[in-house]
Structure 1
Amino acid sequence: MLSFERLYAPVRAWLHRVLPEHQIYFRSQGQVRFIRVSTRLQVAGIVAATLVTGWVGSTVAAYYLRSGL
């Protein structure tokens, strides 16, 4: 029987290849700071944006169907 980790490994490798970790640098008053944007955070952002887009789309569609436009 295949374990979950063995099945998930190719997906994880693909995600790390497609969405590598990024660093956003800020320079202010002679100091340099950065924010690390991990693969996990990018995936969470994509999922959240997809859910919000779907919710807005279904709400707009329901509004138009009920209003008879």
Structure 2
Amino acid sequence: MIGLTHEETFEFERLDGQAALPQEGGQAAHDDRGLWVAGDEARWRELYAKHEGAWKAWMAQSRADQGGSFSLY
């Protein structure tokens, strides 16, 4: 995934396949909106945000590299 190392991509995919709720005895924390999230979900969100930021930067650069050559008409 763009912006993630191979290890982070593997971790993201592993976390993405797990249930969103913590297992009994699992840790939970608040997210930036004040909602409770499981520790694994918090890490998933961190990795996703890193990927999304890199993807947006890559898309912006791709558009800049194309310049004015793109036209629908």
Normalising by structure 2, report the TM-score: 0.44
Higher helix share: 1
Higher strand share: 1
